[in-house]
Structure 1
Amino acid sequence: MYTLSENYKRFIEENKSKNKIINQIELTLLNEDGNKDDIDKIIIHNNQIESVRNEALDYLISYAYFVLSDDFISEEELYDFTALKRIFRIKEGDFIKLKHFEVLEVLKQQFIRMYSDNFIDTKEAITKVNLQIMFDLSYDEFESLKEDEVITSLINGANPKDLDISTLPKGFRI
């Protein structure tokens, strides 16, 4: 069974799901005696994981916002998110395919915050990697999504070495 963090438990307390199946899964996750078989029974009994997928993605995006309220994604929060993706049977590509706009909003908000001072510190670099993992983005997809903010920072005089980038955007030279 998945042992989820205290942060996830706080999320559940503050954001009770209105979806019956998600709510049952939350209760099972909180129950110390709950196990993977119990979760599978909920999903199989309701035979609706496909119909709940959209709401599960919304649920995970809500959890991402909750996690990012302190502008950092810890290892245990990343573990929670990854475990929840497994529990809800979220496949690679589902976020971008089904919740493209919502994922872009989360990422854009973080990129604007991170690049606003024209410097990426260690915590921000870790958070960027964790965001890429959370939303199952390829390296190229992620680089493309953050490009506007990188360009803005460079135009504002940022040193490329301070931006945690591997290559300069087209049209820029050192």
Structure 2
Amino acid sequence: MYTLSAHFSEYLNELKSKQGIAHYLQDIVDLLVVEGTVVQDIDKVLGRYAIQDFDTIKIESIDLLIDYANYILEDSVICDQEALDFEILKKVFRIREGEFLQHRSFQVNEILKKEFIRIYSDNFVDQKEELEKVNLQALFNLSYDQFEEIKQDEVIKALLHGANPEDLSIATIPKGFRV
């Protein structure tokens, strides 16, 4: 089993102070920061709360990950450890491709739009921002087309403000864009 990082432990401490998490989720994530935790430990927590499987708590799990994504992005950087922790959490909670948008489309769009505003506001995408875009797409299990559609408005705004398309690290000019 995976053990989550100190970054996640810091997030957990902040979350506990807000008391914004269901008891069964709290018990599960508490186990994930303890070395030596095995899958059976998590199964015991589910059994203690009479939860049949992770589909029963899918929405709460997605909400937890969205909250964690907001926490990660407070400094506008997704470090390798935070990305790995996020991937582990998706595996533990069995969150599949498309489920973020299926269940929490508005929240995911808001997070991404905020980041795209920051990334494209100076009309230039540097290497650090390019890596962040890749990490953002991976966080929420978005397809290429889904990701392109969500970032399209900010790319168009940057182009309208005179950005050189080569400086924006885009594969194509957004559909329908005319100068």
Q: TM-score, normalised by structure 1?
A: 0.93
For residue 141 of structure 1, report the CA deviation from its aligned partner: 0.8
Structure 2: distance between partners of 1:14 and 1:139: 33
Matched, 1:20 2:23: yes
Structure 1: distance between partners of 2:54 and 2:175: 43
- Which amino acid is the alignment partner of residue 151 of structure 1? I
For residue 36 of structure 1, report the CA deviation from its aligned partner: 2.3
Matched, 1:32 2:32: no
Report the aligned-residue RMSD. Answer: 1.6
Aligned in 2, Cα 1:22/1:157: closer, same or farther, shift over 3 Å? same
5+ long unaligned stretches in structure 1: none
Structure 2: distance between partners of 1:40 and 1:137: 29
For residue 58 of structure 1, report the CA deviation from its aligned partner: 0.6
- Which amino acid is the alignment partner of residue 18 of structure 1? I
SS of the equivalent of 1:73 reads coil
Structure 2: distance between partners of 1:15 and 1:114: 27
Structure 2: distance between partners of 1:59 and 1:24: 13
5+ long unaligned stretches in structure 2: none
Aligned in 2, Cα 1:170/1:32: closer, same or farther, shift over 3 Å? closer
Match of 1:138 among 139, 143, 148: 143
Structure 1: distance between partners of 2:149 and 2:163: 19
Equivalenced residues, count:
174
For residue 80 of structure 1, report the CA deviation from its aligned partner: 0.4
Aligned in 2, Cα 1:47/1:148: closer, same or farther, shift over 3 Å? same
For residue 10 of structure 1, report the CA deviation from its aligned partner: 0.3
- Which amino acid is the alignment partner of residue 108 of structure 1? K
Aligned in 2, Cα 1:29/1:158: closer, same or farther, shift over 3 Å? same
CA-to-partner distance for each residue in 1:71-116, whole Å, 9 max, x for gaps? Answer: 1111111110010011111121110100000100110110011111
Q: TM-score, normalised by structure 2?
A: 0.91
How high is the sequence identity, in percent, across the aligned residues? 47
Structure 2: distance between partners of 1:123 and 1:37: 39
CA-to-partner distance for each residue in 1:139-168, whole Å, 9 max, x for gaps? Answer: 011011100000000000001111010011
* Aligned position for 2:9: 9
